[in-house]
Structure 1
Amino acid sequence: MPFNYYVIYKPFQVLTRFGKEDGKDSLADYFKVPSDVYPVGRLDYDSEGLLILSNDKSLNNKLLDPKFAHEREYWVQVDGAIDDPAIRQLRQGVQITVDGKKYQTRRCNAEIFNTEPVVPERNPPIRFRKNIPAPWIKLVLREGKNRQVRKMTAAAGFPTLRLIRYRIAGVTIEGIQPGQMREMSQREIYGLLFG
């Protein structure tokens, strides 16, 4: 049986599944794929960006097994003028709560964007406040706890306003907009993820 591989840009406020829940939009409202295709991993309802869809179970295992520690790059708009001490704190790891227990995040790459990244408009947009800056930072993690990025920026004192997953290993959302999809071959996606 041939496997299918899709790279999608999951829009804001869309569930990372094909079934409905509480009248919320799901992937089925945006993407038409074979019925045995499912999301590899997850992306929160209020987050947006890169999601891989496939019916290749071995891809799922390789991508989600912590021992492989694939890089995941997030573009995060934060509330307030984040500074170098907060960035250093994020790089070294911060304490968050996971399943009711304290957890120290691993070291990661963190930096402030010098110029605002070019990203699609979000609907609805983040709340604009004239006197409070909302800069963008880049976080590159090698782990993926539930709501980890939001918990990390909050722990550093700068809550997340908007969160976009831009990249997993070599796969990015470059050139696709929210609600769009790009089909890939097994060779292509495996090369970008594990090459």
Structure 2
Amino acid sequence: MRINKLLSNYGICSRSGANKLIEENRIIVNGKLCIPGQWVEKEDNILLDNENINEKDKIYIALNKPVGITCTAEKTVASNIISFMNYPEYIFPVGRLDKLSQGLILMTNDGDWANNILESKNEHEKEYIVTLNKPYDDDFIQGMSEGVEICGVNTRPCKVLRISENTFQIILTQGLNKQIRRMSKTFGYIVVRLERIRIIGIKIDGIESGKWRNLTEKEVIELRNR
């Protein structure tokens, strides 16, 4: 595999981070400076800062993200999720939850595990509680459930349940950018509060805003096998 993927799989850095290490001449493969995009084998002698690379222990975290935090691993972005957590090891967000939204997001250093969760064809469920700027009617629920054209594509049919006159529960199996906000706007509504409360079998219950917990081994395995 390429050196970028190996370092990412080992939980050492992101693929883009690997490119930076290569540019800084900090990686040596079999006695020679690594080049961008180089193919490597696990059996190769790979040094980072003149020390053998070792696969990091895998990290799996459920975070209750507050409003105002941006789901990016790019530390130059203001209020990024990595600086917010200040976690001592390399981790990255699994997918995204827009800055104005709050709730559950998974963090990890396991690229393959993350990709399985994000793979669109797997149709993994994500559940949200959404509050609109005004009361909605039954036509809104039906229209949202059947799918809406946004960004040039039709959203998949989904489950929508009424909670109150202006709040509803929605379960999606895809993750288009700002999907719920754009779907609601199609019907003339503005989302004023959006909270993700579940990703597949992981629930936000018991995690205070801004706090996180480690996933159990059982949870990690269940998500890997979905």
| TM-score normalised over the length of structure 2 | 0.70
Of 59, 62, 68 in structure 2, the residue corresponding to residue 13 of structure 1 is 68
Q: What do residues 105-157 of structure 1 show as CA deviations (whole Å, max 9, x unaligned)?
A: 1100001114xxxxxxxxxxxxxxxxxx7x21111010111111100111122
Name the stretch that deviates more: 156-165 or 62-71: 156-165
CA displacement, residues 152-194 of structure 1 (integer Å, 9 cap, x when unaligned): 1111222111111111111111111211001123432332574
Cα-to-partner distance string for 1:25-75 (whole Å, 9 max, x where unaligned): 222443232432111111111111111000111111101111111001111
Pick aligned residue for 2:148 from 94, 109, 115? 94
Equivalent residues in 2 for 1:69-148 (5 A)? 69-97=123-151, 102-114=152-164, 135-148=166-179
Give unmatched runs, 5+ long, in structure 1.
Answer: 115-132
Q: Report the counterpart of residue 58 of structure 1 in structure 2.
A: 112
- Give the direction of change, closer, same or farther, for the CA distance of 1:34–1:186 in structure 2 (3 Å limit): farther
Provide the secondary structure at the position in 1 that maps to 2:139. helix
Distance in 1 between residues matched to 2:172 and 2:224, nearest whole Å: 15
What's 1:121 paired with? none
* Structure-1 separation of matches of 2:194 and 2:85: 21
Aligned amino acid, residue 25 of structure 1 = S
Find the counterpart in structure 2 of residue 152 from structure 1.
183
Letter in 1 for 2:93: P
Please give the alpha-carbon distance, in whole angstroms, between the structure 2 residues aligned to 1:66 and 1:34. 31
In the alignment, structure 2 segments of 5+ residues that lack a partner are 1-55
Query: Once superposed, which parts of structure 1, at least 4 consecutive aligned residues long, lie more than 4 Å away?
Result: 192-195
Determine if the alignment matches structure 1 residue 37 to structure 2 residue 68. no
**1:162 alignment counterpart:** 193
Please say which structure displays the higher CA radius of gyration: 2
Which structure shows the higher helix fraction? Answer: 2
Secondary structure, counterpart of 2:85 in structure 1: coil
Residue 180 (structure 2) pairs with residue 184 (structure 1) = no
Larger relative contact order (Cα-Cα within 8 Å, sequence gap ≥ 6): 1
Question: Aligned pair 1:26/2:80, yes or no?
Answer: yes
1:15 CA displacement: 1.1
1:36 to 1:171, Cα distance in 2 relative to 1, 3 A: same
Q: Distance in 1 between matches of 2:109 and 2:163?
A: 36
